[in-house]
Chains A and B, each alone.
Chain A
């Protein structure tokens, strides 16, 4: 049984600048999202106990082969990629279709892992949409997972409780970051990553190159305004003075 780990190419948010309340994304490098890297680490740990491959799954633009290298170095055996510039910033409904079609063309998939939300949009839709497209069961916000015959037993972390669930396979899950610590690849692993097998699909290969109806229209995007004094304090005494002056009388 193979495990797919869906990873999203996202801009390095620490390098996004705001100018005139608009984000400036030029020259911002693309990375694999943090929670996705935790998902990969969890899949690697789970497969240690089972025979089968850990396959990175991603849909993105022409830079994707570069971005995915880190994941291959961090323990994935192979990559399944859908590459097209229309997949950069694609809306959830379209990314989900591309991913679901790629999953259909991959052998012996038992589980598909997603991060609970992407580092940029955090909308959490793609996982559920992929499960819907495939007609597979799903479980979100998983904090722990183990395999039993034909099923996964997992802990879903909700706001006020945890549910221990038994889910039939194949299934789609999303994980919370605390499921596993992301792995930092060694230099030799990074060098070897380039040689790991990759399957690359175009949208045409997946029957998705026609015009895509828009499900969501973005009318505007603005950074919220906030003015801060940005005064530098020199001592704990000065800090105390500020705190005292802000205290409720």
Chain B
């Protein structure tokens, strides 16, 4: 079981897994293959990156049923003699990871942000204690399932084309059926790439104040991002603007945090910023010791005053 199998239903994530898989293959001498399920476009995309693809065609929507996906992956791993199975640690991938690991008796690491291979042993680095620490872990079982944080590994470029072979699998009867799909609102802003971020937290009292934060962000040439409750509870901004453990990891040169308390789960997403500036009325909030510059003040007064220094809409 010296080979490596990669799977994600999203092309960008799958391409990231290919580059991580190539890194492992180079160190262990294994061969890299990819699985694709009901997605001929994905098969072609991966084959163009030099990978041999095992393609499954099945009735229904196996991609939405983690039990069916675990069965398909198990079969593909057996046929390709794969000991390392790489998945993306997005929501779907993470769900499949645990099920597959259970069914093949494997140890599993999810949300892996860095990988190291020393003397054939893979070490993964992930957050623990809500992001307060990083743990360095290695899977101790013969087979291992590793789910890698999306957006961390580079996407593999095109190379000498690989092949696409069809794989017959016996899937268990579906017990999860897809009735409908709704697209989620997102507005295309990419907070991971922004040089300047103005991050709003629950310290903003009214939705109307968002416009002021947006004006400041525009004035500084940046984007508005937010803490999790601002998007998920208040629904003021789309979820792709969330910074943190369950959101995005950002590395701006300047982050201005407005009304953010600075809980660990948030902090992991911003601690790589070059300069952190925060405004909070509580000088004991954890964000005070997380920042380079801290203004203890009430946003009710500060926000309009600060926004007034930048050109209006």
List residues of A whose CB falls within 8 A of some B CB: 11, 13-14, 16, 18, 22-23, 92-93, 96, 116-117, 119-129, 131-133, 137-141, 153, 156-168, 171, 174, 176-178, 181, 213-224, 226, 228-236, 238-240, 242-243, 246-248
Q: Decide: B138 and A217 in contact? CB cutoff 8 A.
A: yes
Whether the Cβ atoms of A129 and B128 lie closer than 8 Å is no
Instruction: Determine if A224 and B134 form an interchain contact, defined as CB atoms under 8 angstroms apart.
Output: yes
**A166-B177, A228-B289 given; A132·B98 CB < 8 A:** yes
Contact B175 A162 (CB under 8 A): no
| Cα distance, A213 to B107, chains bound together (Å) | 10
Contact between chains at A242 and B277 (CB < 8 Å): yes
A238 to chain B, nearest CB (A): 7
Contact in complex: B277, A162 (CB < 8 Å): no
Q: Which of B246-287 contact A (CB under 8 A)?
A: 246, 253-254, 256, 263-265, 271, 275-277, 279, 283, 286
| A-contact bits for B280-313, CB 8 A (1 contact / 0 none) | 0001001011111111110000100110010000
> Is B139's CB under 8 angstroms from A215's CB?
yes
Whether the Cβ atoms of A178 and B233 lie closer than 8 Å is yes
Is the Cβ of B129 less than 8 Å from the Cβ of A137?
Answer: no
User: CB of B245 within 8 A of chain A?
Assistant: yes
Q: Is the CB of A221 within 8 A of B309?
A: no
| B1 located at the interface, meaning its Cβ lies under 8 Å from any Cβ of chain A in the complex | no
Tell me what chain B mostly uses at the interface: helix, strand, loop, or mixed.
mixed
Partner pick for A124 among B94, B221, B289, CB 8 A cutoff: B94
Contact residue among B123, B127, B179 (Cβ-Cβ distance under 8 Å from A166): B179
A239 with B306: CB separation less than 8 A = yes
> Which of A11, A164, A239 has most B Cβ within 10 Å?
A239
B195 and A216 contacting across the interface, CB-CB below 8 Å: no
With A223-B132, A246-B275 already in contact, the answer to whether A159 and B91 are too (CB < 8 A) is yes
Query: Contacts of A22 on B, CB cut-off 8 Å?
Result: 133
**Complex Cα distance A126/B195, Å?**
37
Nearest chain B CB to A123 CB, angstrom units: 5
Q: Which 5 A-B pairs have the closest CB atoms?
A: A128-B98, A215-B107, A132-B102, A137-B175, A125-B98
Contact partner of B221 (CB less than 8 A), chosen from A120, A156, A242, A247, is A247
- Choose from A13, A123, A129, A139 the contact partner of B176 (Cβ within 8 Å): A139
Is A13 within 8 A of B130, CB to CB? yes
B236 contacts partner chain A, Cβ-Cβ < 8 Å:
no
CB distance from B21 to the nearest CB of A (A): 20
Distance of A165 Cα from B180 Cα, bound (Å): 7
